Amino acid sequence: MKAFFVRTLLVIVSFILLVQLWIFSSLLWWRTHPVETTMFMRLDYWSEPSKPIQHTWRDYDEISDYVKRAVVTSEDGKFMHHHGFDWEGMQYALERNQDKGKVVAGGSTISQQLAKNLFLYNKRSFIRKGQEAVATWMMERMWSKQRILEVYLNSVEFGENIYGVEAATQHYFGKSARSLTRDQAAFLAAILPNPKYYQDHQNDRKVQIRKKMIRKYMRYSQIP
Give the pLDDT confidence of 73-84 residue by residue, as tens digits: 999 999 999 998
**Residue 198 lies inside a defined structural domain of this protein:** yes
**Residue 30 lies inside a defined structural domain of this protein:** no
Domain count, the chain: 1
Question: In this predicted model, which residue has the larger pLDDT, 216 or 121?
Answer: 216
- Per-residue confidence (pLDDT) for residue 104, from 0 to 100: 46
**Residue 16 lies inside a defined structural domain of this protein:** no
Give the pLDDT confidence of 2-18 residue by residue, as tens digits: 777 778 888 888 999 99
CATH at residue 75: 1.10.3810.10
Task: Evaluate whether 158 touches 188 at the Cβ level (below 8 Å).
Answer: yes
Q: How far is CA 90 from CA 10, 44, 195, in A?
A: 34, 28, 22
Range of the domain at 79: 56-220
What number is the average pLDDT over the span 164-189? 97
- Per-residue confidence (pLDDT) for residue 121, from 0 to 100: 86
**Residue 27 lies inside a defined structural domain of this protein:** no
| % of the chain at pLDDT higher than 90 | 77
- Per-residue confidence (pLDDT) for residue 75, from 0 to 100: 96
- Per-residue confidence (pLDDT) for residue 8, from 0 to 100: 85
- Per-residue confidence (pLDDT) for residue 97, from 0 to 100: 57
- Per-residue confidence (pLDDT) for residue 182, from 0 to 100: 97
Give the pLDDT confidence of 127-170 residue by residue, as tens digits: 899 999 999 999 999 999 999 999 999 999 999 999 999 999 99
**Residue 39 lies inside a defined structural domain of this protein:** no
